[in-house]
Amino acid sequence: MTGSGPLIELRDIGLEVTSPVRTRILHPVTLEIRRGTVVAVIGPSGAGKTTLASIIGALQPPSEGSYRFDGREVLDRTRNQLARFRADHLGFVFQSSHLIEERSALDNVALGIVDPAVTRADGLARGLAALAHVGLDQIAGRRAADLSGGERHRVAIARALVKEPSLVIADEPTAALDQATGREILDLLGSVVDRGATVLIVSHDQRATDRADQVIRIVDGRFFGEGTTENTAEQR
């Protein structure tokens, strides 16, 4: 990642679905995300937070607008190119951790490396380093099934970090965690920028804004917050 402009530039990105009925999910928004920053996407349930994250994560196309990542348009790419883009540049941390229960914490993290040129030994070494970053190197050999909820979140974060993505997208990373553990996970995600990454934290938890450099608020698919502009002409 060598560019000097914003990491992410959304121009008039919006989403309207037509089935079963025509519904506007996201009103067109223009926003930029700078490199090496923590961005919190905040809003009530059903606001459109996950939808925005899945557009930025190239998991779902918007119905309009342009999306540049590191200066290059994303939306004109083929499915294979998008899969490659996600594998090369993005790390995802989802609400449910999706770990392979019978495999060790370390194996689960090493599985985050998708580059076939990385040997298994190298993958395990990098996995162990990522586990150390989240404070879990001592239990690298423990089966995922035996981990606590907080530990599972940490393993999921380590798995997202192990390929050194330029963007980490975490959707509700504090869900189902107690206050203290939720705080630890947010701090941990905030520290990811020290490794040069940009972090997008999606949450209805106001605490996610504490360490954020930029806060994007969404209510009913409408945007509020620093650096966001709604295209009012498009609003209905």
Ligand X SMILES: Nc1ncnc2c1ncn2[C@@H]1O[C@H](COP(=O)(O)OP(=O)(O)OP(=O)(O)O)[C@@H](O)[C@H]1O
Residue 231, both tokens: 């295209």
Packed helices 120-133 and 149-161: angle between N→C axes, nearest 10 degrees? 130
Residue 135, both tokens: 């404070």
Segment interacting with ligand X (CB under 6 A) among 38-46, 131-139, 146-154, 162-170: 38-46
Interface mask (CB under 5 A) for Mg ion, residues 36-75, using x and -?
Answer: --------------x-------------------------
Q: Which of ligand X, Mg ion, none is residue 14 near (CB under 5 to 8 Å by kind)?
A: none
We find the least distance from the C-beta atom of residue 43 to Mg ion, in angstroms, to be 9
Among 6, 14, 28, 43, binds ligand X (CB under 6 A): 43
Question: How many CB atoms neighbour CB 118 within 10 A?
Answer: 16
Q: Is residue 97 near ligand X by the rule CB under 6 A?
A: no
We find the least distance from the C-beta atom of residue 114 to Mg ion, in angstroms, to be 25
Please state, in angstroms and rounded to a whole number, the distance separating the CA atoms of residues 90 and 197.
Answer: 10
Among 2, 4, 18, 45, binds ligand X (CB under 6 A): 45
Question: Where do the DSSP E strands lie in the chain?
Answer: 8-17, 23-33, 38-42, 64-69, 72-73, 90-93, 167-171, 198-203, 214-219, 222-225, 228-230
Contact 226, 38 (CB under 8 A): no
> 221 by DSSP, 3-state: which?
coil
Among 31, 40, 50, 169, binds ligand X (CB under 6 A): 50
Residue 1, both tokens: 């990642």
Q: Is residue 48 near ligand X by the rule CB under 6 A?
A: yes
Q: Is residue 29 near ligand X by the rule CB under 6 A?
A: no
Question: How many CB atoms neighbour CB 100 within 10 A?
Answer: 12
Please state, in angstroms and rounded to a whole number, the distance separating the CA atoms of residues 224 and 226.
Answer: 7
Q: Which is nearer to Mg ion, 50 or 174 (CB)?
A: 50
Q: Which of Mg ion, ligand X, none is residue 51 near (CB under 5 to 8 Å by kind)?
A: ligand X
Contact positions vs ligand X (CB under 6 A): 17, 23, 25, 43, 45-51, 204
Contact positions vs Mg ion (CB under 5 A): 50
